[in-house]
Amino acid sequence: MSIPEVRPATADDAAEIARIQRDTWRTAYADLVGADALAELDSAEVDRRWAEAIAHPDSSVLVATEAGATVGFCVAGRAPEEESAAADGTAAEDAATVGLVSTILVEPRWGRRGHGGRLLAVAAEAMRAEGVTRGITWVAESDSAALGFFRTAGWNPDGTVRTLDTGGGTLREIRLTGEVDLHLDA
């Protein structure tokens, strides 16, 4: 039996991360993002952008593995000040110690096995080591699975909402916030 793991991503993981993003978005988010956004995921440019993200010193890209397969990933790091600001643009008092989980995706066929929780726990631990005390993330308002996942970890809506242009419509996201001192099995 294979033991699930979370490890830092390497440049060699970029294509698998792009594949997971593409497959997950097509399965779980096809109704939320436009066809144009989904079509863009087929370009080799996406692999290159993931390789750049992995190499970027200000964020951590993690991958979850099981049975020799990469099954999910997470991107986290310090939050840009504008991400932690109040809805009116006022800077958060704790902006210097806010972390952002910008992406956490697990391939649907590997879901419900704890990979998301392990990814979030390892990301939170890495952010704590960098002095982060509070985390934030943005979730599509209609994504009940993601909302439930983060609520289970103790992250809740803070009242801030944003609307993104997806190229084929708009996507309303709500910001969740919570402590990075998580008590999840990693």
Residue 35 has pLDDT above 70, yes or no: no
What is the predicted pLDDT for the residue at 89? 85
- State the pLDDT confidence band at 185, using cuts at 50, 70 and 90: very low
- State the pLDDT confidence band at 42, using cuts at 50, 70 and 90: low
Nearest to 146 by CA among 40, 59, 24, 48: 24
What is the predicted pLDDT for the residue at 72? 97
Residue 186 lies in a domain: no
- State the pLDDT confidence band at 1, using cuts at 50, 70 and 90: low
Residue 186 has pLDDT above 50, yes or no: no
Residue 185 lies in a domain: no
What is the predicted pLDDT for the residue at 64? 97
Range of the domain at 152: 5-179
CATH of the domain at 116: 3.40.630.30
* CB 61 within 8 Å of CB 18: no
**Cβ atoms < 10 Å from Cβ of 141:** 15
Between 26 and 133, the more confident residue is: 133
Between 14 and 32, the more confident residue is: 14
Residue 184 lies in a domain: no
Q: What 3 state SS string does 69-97 have?
A: EEEEEEEEEECCHHHHCCCCCCCCCCHHH
The total number of structural domains in the chain stands at 1
Between 12 and 23, the more confident residue is: 12
Residue 92 lies in a domain: yes
Between 107 and 37, the more confident residue is: 107
Residue 73 lies in a domain: yes
- State the pLDDT confidence band at 117, using cuts at 50, 70 and 90: very high
- State the pLDDT confidence band at 11, using cuts at 50, 70 and 90: very high
Between 159 and 3, the more confident residue is: 159
Residue 82 lies in a domain: yes
Residue 170 lies in a domain: yes
Give me the sign of the Cα torsion angle 102, 111, 140, 121.
negative
pLDDT digits 0-9 by tens, 73-102: 999 999 999 999 987 889 999 999 999 999
Mean pLDDT of the chain: 88
Residue 155 lies in a domain: yes
- State the pLDDT confidence band at 111, using cuts at 50, 70 and 90: confident
